Chains A and B, each alone.
Chain A
């Protein structure tokens, strides 16, 4: 690069400053509401709904009632968070290390479990123990006396007393099901659409686009009555001769779809199909068609070509699309709240139960704690997959 060009590219201080200031303001706006609900969730009700922001942050009432964090705790906590973030970036490496029998996904599950347990043990176990031990030994002092009121009681009520882990497991099932099925079905369709010039493919895409635009409340309203009455509706299928024998393999009686995870998974997969197809199609378009044509010349069928040539190179696009499917399934409120019952409910509709409960302020803070619990896994998710999101999009998924 020649001298004048480099000079032209170098930015004047004023521009760098403006851009820096803008970024700082944006980050404040982006993070503040979330930071604030996190702070609220650690206070007793009187503090969390106080009008004075300082008493929300320092929680005088909480400190007086149950204690809180000392400067030492805070320092330890910040160090802990720093390492937790640093370490999250290396989860992929850990996953490879512990992967069992070459199964990458098992490795991931184990890695995430180890990570979560390590973080929990550090923050809930080690830090309070160290600080309490020191306080007992030294009898207090500025660094050891609590200055920031904080309490875990709401988290304790949510997770232990109200057994929120049931909902957490339900969310895991629904989300995992949606991501797996929607990627499997979606890659096949998107690949075929990307590799054909026929008009059907075009009209399929347009239809998908229109389906993507459908207001979900319309669809869900259509589902509710058949889901509730599915046993009656499906009975003829079970009772008719040959077909009935086939269906009876699945169970003696037709199922009630309402409240079943797999029924909701199928619905969410369908709702998610248009977006999946569009994302993956443009991604496949960026993979040169010569690749699979070469494989076809070597005598592979379309499916073999897909398996041997495309699958190995498609992961960046699939991971990006998978993340979007994950977000849709994990964050969904409308479908899950209408089609699941109390026992099978996922986390997001479950918190609205707290808000709508006509009772106490404590419930509201518990709802805030539940809300923070719901977004915590999303934090970890971005920390781990941030690079894949950006690189997956760069790799061509957005050329559409």
Chain B
């Protein structure tokens, strides 16, 4: 294919990705090194608010933003280098935590960024084997089922994957929240008062459960599709060699599915690493937060209307760094394949 033809084909897609993904990314990178501050002046203000029976008027010194002649607030932008990253990562506090008499790991996890990173990484890594394992088990079991039953079984299995994530998370939360029916059932069995959403670990387990519930069907479809193309000859010769059922699974089927397992693992790593819907759906901010939620929280205007743009940018660059590190092994594999071709 000629180079010009190639570019003509890819141009629309590349332009879209450049404008809507690369450009914001670059601006985020730049913003993480700059700090934009407002300019405040102190003024004495008399303000009146409703009271009973008459309005309450108070006179007080207030900080007010300085506006220019067009009525637009004045801001000052300055280059701060790694300062924002320092505020986020708090190296001094980390050093103190691990020095003699420091709080150790628990003091480290008190800092939001490490707290979020800790949960995000455990969340990603623990759900990964479950997604692949459960997906594979469902695929094998469906493959085992009577042909006429497969249609309905596949239909039901796909449900958790296709329904809207926010709705899925809420539907699970409703089962447990307060005296939700599953909590009530547990209480009935154990005969004690249980409050699922009062414990950090319960959040952690439920959020992971939700993620596996949501993604395992995706893994299942992919693996199920792969199972249909297992080479029957290899399987038969394995039987002739006297391989047991488990050995056939281990030495014939799994290697055949390996590229698909890598594919699912890759997609899952990327998606789980930017977990966000779970925090919103389960309202777990008090107990467990994720890296993307941290960025989102910085970006949400606080009660004075400020967005912590610099910290959000720095947090997202660190998040990016994390995902790149996670992706290096599978990317390395792709690179080798590409070279070998």
Direct contact of A and B (CB under 8 A): yes
Interface residues of A (CB under 8 A from B): 1, 4-5, 8-9, 11, 15-16, 19-20, 22-23, 26-27, 29-34, 36-37, 40, 51-53, 56, 185-186, 188-189, 191-193, 195-198, 200-202, 204-219, 221-223, 266-267, 269-271, 273-274, 277, 302-303, 327, 330-331, 333-334, 348, 351-352, 355, 371, 374-375, 378-379, 381-383, 386, 389-390, 393-394, 398-400
Establish whether residues A218 and B295, one from each chain, have CB atoms under 8 Å apart when the complex forms: yes
Which 4 pairs of residues, A with B, have the shortest CB-CB distance? A222-B24, A192-B9, A270-B20, A189-B13
Residue among B159, B226, B324 with max Cβ neighbours from chain A (10 Å): B159
Cα distance, A300 to B335, chains bound together (Å): 33
Q: Which of A9, A20, A34, A52 contacts B239 (CB 8 A)?
A: A9
A191-B141 in contact given A215-B276, A270-B16, A382-B158 (Cβ < 8 Å)? no
Establish whether residues B276 and A217, one from each chain, have CB atoms under 8 Å apart when the complex forms: yes
A327-B166 in contact given A185-B13, A270-B17, A386-B155 (Cβ < 8 Å)? no
A1 surroundings in chain B (CB, below 8 A)? 236
Interface residues of B (CB under 8 A from A): 1-3, 5-6, 9-10, 12-14, 16-17, 19-25, 27-28, 134, 137-138, 140-142, 144-145, 151, 153-160, 162-168, 170-172, 174-175, 179, 181, 184-185, 213, 217, 221-222, 224-226, 228-229, 236, 239-240, 245, 259-260, 263, 270, 273-274, 276-277, 291-292, 295-296, 299, 307, 309, 312, 316, 319-320, 323-324, 327, 331, 334-335, 338, 341
Establish whether residues A33 and B168, one from each chain, have CB atoms under 8 Å apart when the complex forms: yes
In the complex, 23 of the A-B residue pairs with CB atoms within 8 angstroms, ordered by the A residue number, are A23-B153, A30-B156, A30-B160, A30-B213, A36-B174, A40-B174, A51-B179, A56-B181, A191-B9, A192-B10, A200-B6, A206-B331, A214-B274, A218-B312, A221-B307, A222-B24, A270-B19, A333-B165, A351-B167, A379-B159, A386-B151, A393-B225, A398-B226
Establish whether residues B174 and A189, one from each chain, have CB atoms under 8 Å apart when the complex forms: no
A52 surroundings in chain B (CB, below 8 A)? 181, 184
Cα distance, A11 to B65, chains bound together (Å): 77
Cα distance, A269 to B226, chains bound together (Å): 28
B292 surroundings in chain A (CB, below 8 A)? 215-217
A188-B165 in contact given A30-B156, A214-B21, A333-B277 (Cβ < 8 Å)? no
B273 surroundings in chain A (CB, below 8 A)? 213
Establish whether residues B5 and A302, one from each chain, have CB atoms under 8 Å apart when the complex forms: yes
A303 surroundings in chain B (CB, below 8 A)? 5
Establish whether residues B145 and A185, one from each chain, have CB atoms under 8 Å apart when the complex forms: no
Establish whether residues A210 and B327, one from each chain, have CB atoms under 8 Å apart when the complex forms: yes
A207 surroundings in chain B (CB, below 8 A)? 17
Cα distance, A191 to B1, chains bound together (Å): 11
Q: Which of B9, B24, B181, B263 contacts A188 (CB 8 A)?
A: B9
Establish whether residues A348 and B164, one from each chain, have CB atoms under 8 Å apart when the complex forms: yes
A342 to B: closest C-beta gap in Å: 18
Establish whether residues B24 and A331, one from each chain, have CB atoms under 8 Å apart when the complex forms: no
A195-B1 in contact given A208-B17, A375-B167 (Cβ < 8 Å)? yes
Residue among B13, B142, B273, B324 with max Cβ neighbours from chain A (10 Å): B13
Q: Which of B165, B229, B259, B312 contacts A400 (CB 8 A)?
A: B259
Q: Which of A189, A379, A394 contacts B10 (CB 8 A)?
A: A189
